[in-house]
Amino acid sequence: MYIRSKSLTFIAVAVVMCTAGLVPSVGHAAEIPADEMVRSYAENHGLTAADVKRINTLNEKALSLGPGKATGSVLPDASASFRDAADGGMETPAAEPLDRMPDPYRAYGGRASTSVGNYIRKWQQVYGQRDGQRQQMTEAQREQLAYGCVGVTWVNSGNYPTNKLGFAFFDENKYKDTIKNTSPRPGETQAEFEGRTAKQSFDEEKGFKRARDVASVMNKALEGSRDENAYLTKLKTELGKANDSLVNEDGRSNFFAALRSTPSFRDKSGGNFDPSRMKAVIYSKHFWSAQDPRGSADKRKFGDPEGFRPNQTTGLVDMSKDRNTSRSATKPGESFINFDYGWFGDQKEPAADKTIWTHANHFHNPNGDMGPMNVYESKFQNWSSGYADFDRGAYMVTFIPKNWNTAPDNVTQGWR
C-alpha cells in the first residue's frame, strides 16, 4: 500500500502508522541483505520526515493525557482533543448489521487484508461472542478499533495494552561470539555494529514460544481457582512441576501481579475477582530499543545493545522503561515510526508459522490524507517481519474473561 501524507496531526499514543512489512523477522535478520535492512516504513510508503515527526511528536505528547489508563470500554480522555487536532480526524467506523456475513479477505503471500468494516463483520461472527452469543460491536469498541494496530489489540483484550508482562529470547552466546570474532562492515561504526548484532541475536519465534508456554501454565493454574491466593498457589505448584525458573520470582513481580493488575479481572461483569473466570492470552509489540532520553545519540540511532534484553533465566522483559519513543534519524531527512501491535489470543496451533496475527496499517481516516484503515491477518513469519524502525519484539501475556471469544482456539485466515 502506498501512502503519501501531507498533513498528519493527531493526539493519541495508539494512533500511529502500524507496519505492514514483508522483510524477514528480527530473529532472521542475519539473512537479510544489507540494503533491505536499512529500509524504513517511511521509505517504503512515501512518508516525508515531516509527516512522521508530526505523528511521533503528538504520540509522545499523548502519554500525559492518560490513554494507557483506560479500562474496559472507557475511551481515553484524549478522544475529544484528538478529533479537534487531527487533520481530517480519526473517524469511528460505521456499525455493521449483526447478521451480515463478511466477504473473503484479499490474500497475498503470508498475509490477508480487508477493510475495517469487513473486519467488524468477521469480529461479530467469530470474535465478539459472550457466553456463546454473538454480540454487535458497540460504538465504544468501534472507536477503540479505529486507532489502528493497537486498536485491534485493544478491542480484543478489552483494556488498553499496558505491556506489563513481556517475554523475549536473546542469544547471549551468539552476540558475544559475533562481537568478539567479527568486525564492523566497511563504513559501519562500532555503535552501528553492536546495535545490528544485538538485533540479530533476538529470536522472535523463541520469544513467542516462551510466552505461549507461560500462558499455558497460567491457564492450568486458573482452572478451578476461586480466589487469587488459590491461583497463585497452583501457579507456583505448576511452575515447580515444570522446573520453571519463574517460580523464584519475587511475590511483587509483574509475573505474579499480572492477574490482579488486569482491569477485566476486577470488573464485576468480567472476572469479578474469580480467577477461574479468566484466561491468559497473548499479543505482541515491535518497538525500538534505545528509549533512554539520557542515552547517547549513537544508541538512539543504531540501538542500545543492552536495551530491553530479557532475563536470561526467565525470559521476562522489563517494559517499565518503554516510552513509545521512536528511533532517531541516521541520515538527513530520515524518520521512523514508534511501534506496531499484533493480536494473537489463545490459538492452539502448535506450529508458529501457521499461527495468525491480526493488526492494521493505520488509524481510520477515510476522509483525510491517510485514508481508510485496513486490517491484516498475517502468518507468524509475516507478522514478525520488520523494518529498520524496530529492533525489539516482545510477546505479552494478559488476561481476558473466559466467556469472551475474542481469542478463539482456532483462527482461519481471512474469511472462507
Note whether 409 and 42 are within 8 A (CB). no
Residue 54 has pLDDT above 60, yes or no: no
pLDDT digits (tens, 9 = 90+) for 286-296: 999 999 988 89
pLDDT for position 146: 85
- DSSP per position, 139-181: HHHHHHHTT-HHHHHHHHHSS-----SEE--B-HHHHHHHHHH
**Grid cell for residue 164:** 506489563
Local confidence band at 365 (pLDDT 50, 70, 90 cut-offs) = confident
pLDDT for position 114: 97
- Of 58-67, 183-192, 381-390, least confident by mean pLDDT is 58-67
Which residue among 51, 203, 322, 359 is the active-site one? 359
Q: Report the greatest alpha carbon distance in the chain.
A: 62
pLDDT for position 15: 41
Q: Percent of the chain beyond pLDDT 90?
A: 57
pLDDT digits (tens, 9 = 90+) for 148-177: 888 899 899 988 888 999 999 999 999 999
Higher pLDDT, 50 or 300: 300
pLDDT digits (tens, 9 = 90+) for 86-124: 433 678 999 999 999 999 999 988 999 999 999 999 999
> Is the four-CA dihedral 404, 408, 413, 416 of positive or negative sign?
negative
Residue 135 has a CB neighbour count (10 Å cut-off) of 16
Note whether 331 and 49 are within 8 A (CB). no
Note whether 202 and 392 are within 8 A (CB). yes
Local confidence band at 297 (pLDDT 50, 70, 90 cut-offs) = very high
Which residue among 149, 346, 364, 389 is the active-site one? 149
pLDDT for position 46: 61
Which residue among 51, 244, 340, 389 is the active-site one? 340
Helix H or strand E segment including 263: helix 263-266
Annotation marks residue 304 as catalytic: no
Over the chain, what is the mean pLDDT?
Answer: 83
**Grid cell for residue 397:** 501475556
User: Alpha helix (H) ranges present in 352-393?
Assistant: 380-383
Annotation marks residue 389 as catalytic: no
pLDDT digits (tens, 9 = 90+) for 29-53: 333 333 334 578 777 656 667 566 6
Please report, for residues 14, 261, 398, 413, the alpha-carbon distance to residue 161 in angstroms, rounded to integers and kept in the order given.
10, 12, 9, 23
> Is the four-CA dihedral 297, 301, 304, 308 of positive or negative sign?
positive
pLDDT for position 32: 36
Mean pLDDT of 51-61: 54
pLDDT for position 219: 97
pLDDT for position 376: 94
pLDDT for position 162: 83
Higher pLDDT, 15 or 400: 400
pLDDT for position 123: 95
Annotation marks residue 292 as catalytic: no
Closest among 185, 145, 120 to 15, alpha carbons compared: 145
pLDDT digits (tens, 9 = 90+) for 306-315: 999 999 999 9
CA angle 398, 349, 104 (to 5 degrees): 95
pLDDT digits (tens, 9 = 90+) for 230-281: 999 999 999 999 999 999 999 889 999 999 999 999 999 899 999 999 999 9
**Grid cell for residue 309:** 534484553
pLDDT for position 387: 81
